Structure 1
Amino acid sequence: MTTIYHNPRCSKSRQTLALLEENGIQADIRLYQKDILSKVELELLIAQLKIQPIELMRTKETAYKELGLNKDSSDEERIQAMLNNPSLIERPIVVHNNQAKLGRPPENVLELFG
């Protein structure tokens, strides 16, 4: 099973979804800004990506600054901020066979299927 955490307003997310389709890969589409992630789901994604929470954050978003987040914020603060403000989550994320990749650039996700 393959899942894409998708934001249709994001060009990279649309490109990644198109790339999956071009390669015959059917993915469940999770509109994560409407179908909000649980804390367990977000922590699992971070583990599957093998990154730190800060690496999953869109630090240039207005909400990041408005929430007072910075390089000294704790992982718990970052995770809570992403749960409360899904726009802070970098996208797209593709999960396949319990592994995940960020689609930045979109071609990154093809490594999951190689």
Structure 2
Amino acid sequence: MTIMYGIPNCDTIKKAKKYLNDNNVEFTFHDYRKDGISADLIEQFFAQLGWENVLNKRGTTYRALTDEQKSTLDENSAKQHLLDSPAMIKRPIIIHKEHYYLGFKAAQYDEIFGA
């Protein structure tokens, strides 16, 4: 079973979903805003992908942090920020056959899903 994590109005999520649908890959979509997110799930993401990779530093939510918040970020404070603002999680995160993948690039998905 493939699970995609993200928020539905994200352009990258839309591209990733289109890719999966176009290539007949069955998946479940986990919407952080509707389905929620837990500290345990964030810890899994951190363990598999690295906390600095999971934190989306390009988004407006991250840019809204104060300079002090940004300069003192560590794994624990990042986890709290992601719990409070799931939009700050880099998207999408996909779990496929117990492997974790971050972001969307068609070539990467071709390798993952054998398209």
**SS of equivalent to 1:79:** helix
Moved over 4 A (4+): none
What does residue 43 of structure 1 align with? 43
Q: CA deviation at 1:105?
A: 2.4
What does residue 97 of structure 1 align with? 97
If the length of structure 2 is used for normalisation, what is the TM-score?
0.82
- Point out where structure 2 has 5 or more consecutive residues left out of the alignment: none
Q: How many residues align?
A: 112
Q: Deviations over 1:54-84 (max 9, x none)?
A: 2111223343244433254111100110011
The residue type equivalent to 2:56 in the other structure is: R
Deviates more, 1:37-46 or 1:68-77: 68-77
Q: 1:1-114, aligned counterparts within 5 Å?
A: 1-48=1-48, 51-68=49-66, 69-114=69-114
Structure having the larger proportion of residues in helix? 2
- Matched residues, percent identical? 27
Output the aligned Cα RMSD. Answer: 2.0
If the length of structure 1 is used for normalisation, what is the TM-score?
0.82
